[in-house]
Amino acid sequence: MITLLLLVAAIVGCLVVMRREAGALPAVAVLAVLGVLGLVLDAEIIGVLLLIAAAGIAICGLKPLRRLWLSPRLFKVFKKIAPKVSETERVALDAGTVAWDGELFSGRPDWKRLLAFDNPGLSDEEQAFIDHQCAVAAGMCNAWEIARERADMPPELWDYLKKERFFGMIIPKAYGGLEFSAKAQSAVLQKLAFNETLMSTVGVPNSLGPGELLLKYGTEEQKNHYLPRLADGRDIPCFALTGPRAGSDATSIPDVGIVCRGMHEGKEVLGLKLTFEKRWITLAPIATVVGLAFRMFDPDNLLERGESDIGISCALIPRETEGMQIGRRHHPIGSPFMNGPIRGKDVFIPLDYLIGGLEMAGQGWRMLVECLSVGRCITLPSGAAGTGRYAVGWTGGFARIRRQFNIAVADMEGVQEPLARLAAKAYISQAAVMQTANTIDHGVKPAVPSAILKSQLTEFQREMMIDAMDVHGGRTVTLGPRNYLGIGFSATPVSITVEGANIMTRNLMIFGQGAIRCHPYVLDELAAKDSNDFAAFDKLFFRHTGLIFGNAARAFTQALGLGRAEVPFDSLAKPYAQEVARLSSAFGLCADAAMASLGAKLKQREMISARLGDVLSNLYLLSMVLKQWHDSDRVDGEAALFHYSCRFLLNRAEQALVELYENLPNRALAHLLAGITMPLGRRWHKPQDSLTRDIAKAISTDTALRHKLTRNTWDSWEEGQQENPLARYNALLANAERAETIYRTLAKARAKRELPEAALHPEQWIEAGLEAGLLSEEDAVFMRAHEAEVLDMLTVDDFDFDAFTSQQPSANHERQTHTTPA
């Protein structure tokens, strides 16, 4: 009995020391005291074993002892197996800042650090712009006309966007811009997201492009000249980075600029002779100024730097520059936003065209990745979140007014499932975009979160659009002016592909960059290796070891329900925040285990890296949902959606861990990790059906939750504007309860054969019900108008026989078509 008690005491004592990452000395003390106690109490075997364990930890863990024999050997091995970080990787690692993503990597996230990012919301000026200017711009936008008839936005819409400085949201007021916060930029793009062309056209100049590069790196002369012109639309910018052989691997740019002398404005000046071929460049066909990324060389040492390869550089080139070929268009799938190629051979530009001047020559890659970390957090994720807002509004409205089998399809469980999924992904997307933009407004440059948001939310966008299309059925698989969903659905691959394809981002960037950038010790350990600093390595390595043991202890005990983390949330959110803390410890342990067991090979084991990235991504998204819940005012019905969203993300995080354990090459290690992090198996399953039913009803009826999910959308209509389907659905739902009562009355009457058998249409039911005294005249008038509006919202377009052909069919072909037997 004494032996068992001593063993339990030793285990508990060591777990406490490990959880606190207290170091080797407390562990030695615990084991030594228990060992001596065992000898005193005549439990010699356990006493001796505990003393041996104490001696082993002392030899390996106490600084004076370990430095004599262990640390030098570890340093030697580490130098051999540690991955080599290329210069381009190092630039990417140095770009941006680490905030909440670093907390998740630590295994012991400090929630107070996240909650410290207070969110004051939008300013009155910003909200007014969203309410008015965005609504006016939206009302000028006819999706069918833009996609199929013009292949462009109408001139009056272009003029309005320029006049109201939509292209200058990031430009300071001193240069004539709007100087909006990141949150406001996101809100604008979300409101415009009902149309991919409009959203992209406004988003790109405010994301990665000449405007942002000039703000951060341009010379004063460049800023003073270009920023006012970009703000008011006199200049339309594009940025040419991607080419036929440099897509996701942007550092492999084959476009070159050779330092030489040439003629510019009648004078011989030092400049660059550029040869380049770019494609997929948004706004290129109409751009008046082109930002260009290229590889700069100085073979004749004209810059007197003593090096030929200067590196990736960025220049700003006016459209009319001789030799630049620009104006042709690509045809992006589903959305005809302006996009096209740019080419040039031996195009001469002066060195003054370099963004930031000669001082920034060769700094292009750093410039790009630093800007991308912010822009990629806003534009496409905001488009995805905005798409979710509209998809909820449209799909919930349609599902309520569309009736089959005498009930609204929103009341069918098969339809409720995609409705709830759609609502949860929209809810998560809104929280993630808003809260991450809020950190940007606090000065954070979120490199890893930008990769998470870009890949995860655009995947959500694709899934939300699929669910919306499935619920709508024939209503939106038939294209035409009435179809508010189909064109946007077909454009979703654009968001998946651009600004870092999702396959690459998920497999290489989220964990690949985060493992080094966000880990508390790895980046510093690599620096110690590169500088051959043994003392720094010894200190960092054993702190790192303490973190590994700490994460193992925290993950194991919390999985058993012991020592749950203290979190500053209310009773509804607390269990989920505690699960984030538990899974953060499990993630940190697994990340270190994968890096230790695979070493440099982890770069090639992309599926392993992707699953680790999936764990981190779901924990980050869940943290943003918790922050949003903590910060915002709740509405009736929101708790169900909050529970659904949290459980959905926790289920995905655990699934990623399970798949990781099933595929780790070292099977013994995989079983050990599973035993530590999931000793009782999985804790989180998919959300319950009861939550699904509650959410589906809430978004398909006129509720506070529906209004919250569709807030800051284009949901109004004014005379002279284009038709607004969301406004029409909202009006129908406002009266849906009254209509439903009448539908039930008529359905019962039909079942009792109180209405004529020949009355097969709702319009006939109404008249028969009025005649039979089942409906009042007032109800009949209401239902006639209601049913007419419903039918109009369910109607799809049809066209002339040859409307889709670019050439009219011959008379002979037409005769054959119409005379061939069916």
Query: What is the CA 742 to chain-centroid distance, rounded?
Result: 44
Using DSSP, state whether 243 is helix, strand or coil: strand
Q: Cα separation of 284 and 276, whole Å?
A: 14
Spatial distance between the Cα atoms of 557 and 542, rounded to a whole number of angstroms:
22
Question: Which ranges in 531-605 belong to alpha helices (H)?
Answer: 534-559, 574-598
Distance, CA of 66 to CA of 542 (rounded, Å): 10
DSSP state, residue 204: G
Burial call 533-542: b when 16+ CB within 10 Å, e when fewer: eeeebbbbbb
Those residues whose C-beta lies under 8 Å from the C-beta of residue 344, and which sit 6 or more positions away, are 274, 275, 276, 277, 323, 324, 325
DSSP-derived secondary structure letter, 135: H
C-alpha–C-alpha distance, residues 87 and 253, integer Å: 15
480: region left, alpha or beta (phi > 0 left; psi from -120 to 50 alpha): left
Handedness of CA 680, 682, 684, 685 (dihedral sign): negative
Q: Which helix (H) or strand (E) holds 27?
A: helix 24-40
CB contact burial 792-810 (16+ within 10 A = b; e otherwise)? ebeeeeeeeeeeeeeeeee
Cα distance between residue 151 and residue 143, in whole Å: 10
Dihedral over alpha carbons 157, 163, 167, 173 (to 10 degrees) = -160
DSSP calls for 384-441: HHHHHHHHHHHHHHHHHH-EETTEEGGGSHHHHHHHHHHHHHHHHHHHHHHHHHHHHH
CA-CA distance, 15 to 26, in Å (whole number)? 11
Rounded-to-integer distance, Cα 354 and Cα 361, Å:
7
Active-site positions? Answer: 499
- Contact between 342 and 324 under an 8 Å Cβ cutoff? The reply is yes
User: Which has the closest alpha carbon to 781: 732, 750, 739?
Assistant: 739
Beta partners for residue 339, in sequence order: 282
What angle do the packed helices 667-677 and 638-663 form, to 10 degrees? 150
Say if strands 407-408 and 403-404 run parallel, antiparallel, or are unpaired: antiparallel
DSSP label at 571?
T
